[in-house]
């Protein structure tokens, strides 16, 4: 591996690719763990006698508040401590608490471990994105982040595979116990991996403190220096509204589209893994090539994908379950989610100094999860309960259609981010290189 004068990675070794694939596997486990509760909705909701509002809180704010808030601090911590050991700690914590979740007997006994699972899982993304930034050159960063992001759709698919193929043998509680045990083993493996040296490009003029005031001051400085970064964050929040409301899709499939709960979990799993992985490849490679060929930022590429898919995503919420467009809609939902990861997080890395990437990743995760997914899933649960009490014949369909339409507001925000990107990147690099 070689490096530029400023310390930027210029080429990649096989071990870097192997390490990326291991991080991606951990991300898969992360999302299986995170989505297992939503995947078992048709088992857990009736057994624990949960309302839609309570289920929305468990999959939404109760988990996401701690996940997002702690992600900000864990991101700042990842910029300063051994990142592989930090990831090992978080993985071990959430895995043990997943086992505890499997023993839940009601809302409260499930809510308490969900809070602290969020703390453990908040470590992985900011620490991993920071590691990737030190291992891969800027011109391949979108693809590298996209590969890591493939853990999202693969993990969602994995949770559905667990529901469809393991639940008949282990039960939903046994699946929680098994996943927790696997996570503990992986945490021990991660603790043995050495830290990656940090390069020093664009690391000056960034506050070193990890107190809340210091973090807020640094974030304000970074966002003020780059409108493209601000537009990317805002677009990501709006994009995530429908992801939050999508927590209720398994209930929607069964209650209003007439699917068997196990069969639709199997269908969702295959659609998630195919659509999501293809989407991650298209988003990562397509965003990188679009930037090189046009000089316009990767968020514009994401906006164009969303414009093309918008008619299908809207029709998906309106057609019957036996329509071919319904199956296409499931596929495009995961394809679009896959396309998001590479362009959004690679844009953040390009516009932020190297020793603030963990912090900025934590902030982006915080805003996506808390302001986007958290509000989406919690308000979605409240809205569905209200629609049901008001006599609406299709409360899930109505709510999911509404959130799908709201998510389209992210398109102009991503377009503005892409338009500003190159100008902001040059300005930010010039600003920080002055002190190099």
Residue 6 reports pLDDT greater than 70:
no
Q: What is the mean pLDDT of residues 308-325?
A: 93
pLDDT at residue 8 greater than cutoff 60 = no
Domain ranges of the chain: 14-433
d(C-alpha 310, C-alpha 242), whole Å: 13
> Tens of pLDDT along 94-114?
999 999 999 998 999 999 998
Mean pLDDT of the chain: 84
The fold of 14-433 is Growth Hormone; Chain: A; (1.20.1250)
Q: What is the pLDDT of residue 64?
A: 76
The residue among 278, 272, 3, 299 whose CA lies nearest residue 147 is: 278
Helix axes 375-389, 61-78, angle to 10 degrees: 170
pLDDT digits (tens, 9 = 90+) for 69-93: 777 778 778 878 888 999 999 999 9
| In the predicted structure, residue 435 carries a pLDDT above the cut 70 | no
- CA pair distance 418, 411, nearest whole angstrom: 11
Say how far apart CA 273 and CA 157 lie, in whole Å.
5
What are the residue ranges of helices labelled H in 295-394? 298-316, 324-350, 357-366, 375-389
**Percentage of the chain modeled with pLDDT above 90:** 38
pLDDT number for residue 211: 66
In the predicted structure, residue 3 carries a pLDDT above the cut 60: no
- State whether residue 9 is helix, strand or coil: strand
Q: What does the pLDDT read at residue 206?
A: 47
Q: What is the pLDDT of residues 251-299, one digit of tens each?
A: 899 999 989 888 888 888 888 888 988 998 899 889 889 998 998 999 9
Higher-confidence residue of 389 and 196: namely: 389
CA distance 50 to 151: 29
Name which of 7, 2, 1 is nearest 436 in CA terms. Answer: 7
pLDDT at 398 over 90: yes
pLDDT at residue 413 is higher than 90: yes
Least confident of 262-266, 320-324, 399-403: 262-266
Evaluate whether 299 touches 232 at the Cβ level (below 8 Å): yes
């Amino acid at each position: 591996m070689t490096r530029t004068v400023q310390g930027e990675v210029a080429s990649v070794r096989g071990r870097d690719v192997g390490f990326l694939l291991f991080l991606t596997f951990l991300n898969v486990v992360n999302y299986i763990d995170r989505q297992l509760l939503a995947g078992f909705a048709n088992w857990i909701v009736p057994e624990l006698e949960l309302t839609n509002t309570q289920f929305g809180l468990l999959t939404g704010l109760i988990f996401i508040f701690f996940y997002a808030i702690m992600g900000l601090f864990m991101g700042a911590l990842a910029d300063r401590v051994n990142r592989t050991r930090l990831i090992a700690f978080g993985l071990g914590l959430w895995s043990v608490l997943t086992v505890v979740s499997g023993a839940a007997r009601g809302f409260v006994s499930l809510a308490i471990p969900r809070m602290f699972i969020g703390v453990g899982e908040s470590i992985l993304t900011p620490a991993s994105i920071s590691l990737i930034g030190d291992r891969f050159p800027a011109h391949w960063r979108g693809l590298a982040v996209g590969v890591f992001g493939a853990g999202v759709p693969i993990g969602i698919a994995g949770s559905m595979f667990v529901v469809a193929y393991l639940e008949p043998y282990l039960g939903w509680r046994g699946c929680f116990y098994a996943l927790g045990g696997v996570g503990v083993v992986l945490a021990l493996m991660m603790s043995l991996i050495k830290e990656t040296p940090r390069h020093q490009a664009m690391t000056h003029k960034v506050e070193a403190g990890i107190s809340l005031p210091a973090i807020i001051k640094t974030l304000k400085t970074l966002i003020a220096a780059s409108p493209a970064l601000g537009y990317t964050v805002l677009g990501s929040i709006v994009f995530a509204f429908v992801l939050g409301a999508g927590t209720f899709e398994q209930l929607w499939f069964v209650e209003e589209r007439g699917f068997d709960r196990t069969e639709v979990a199997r269908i969702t799993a295959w659609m998630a893994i195919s659509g999501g992985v293809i989407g991650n490849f298209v988003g990562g490679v397509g965003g990188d090539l679009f930037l090189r060929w046009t000089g316009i930022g990767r968020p514009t590429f994401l906006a164009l994908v969303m414009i093309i898919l918008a008619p299908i995503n809207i029709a998906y919420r309106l057609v019957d379950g036996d329509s071919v467009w319904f199956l296409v809609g499931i596929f495009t939902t995961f394809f679009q989610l896959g396309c998001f990861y590479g362009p959004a997080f690679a844009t953040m890395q390009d516009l932020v100094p190297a020793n603030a990437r963990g912090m900025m990743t934590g902030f982006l995760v915080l805003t996506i999860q808390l302001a986007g997914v958290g509000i989406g899933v919690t308000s979605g649960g409240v809205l569905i309960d209200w629609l049901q009490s008001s006599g609406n014949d299709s409360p899930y369909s109505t709510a999911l259609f509404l959130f799908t339409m709201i998510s389209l507001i992210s398109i102009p925000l991503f377009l503005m981010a892409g338009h500003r990107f190159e100008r902001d990147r040059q300005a930010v690099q010039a600003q920080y290189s002055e002190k190099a």
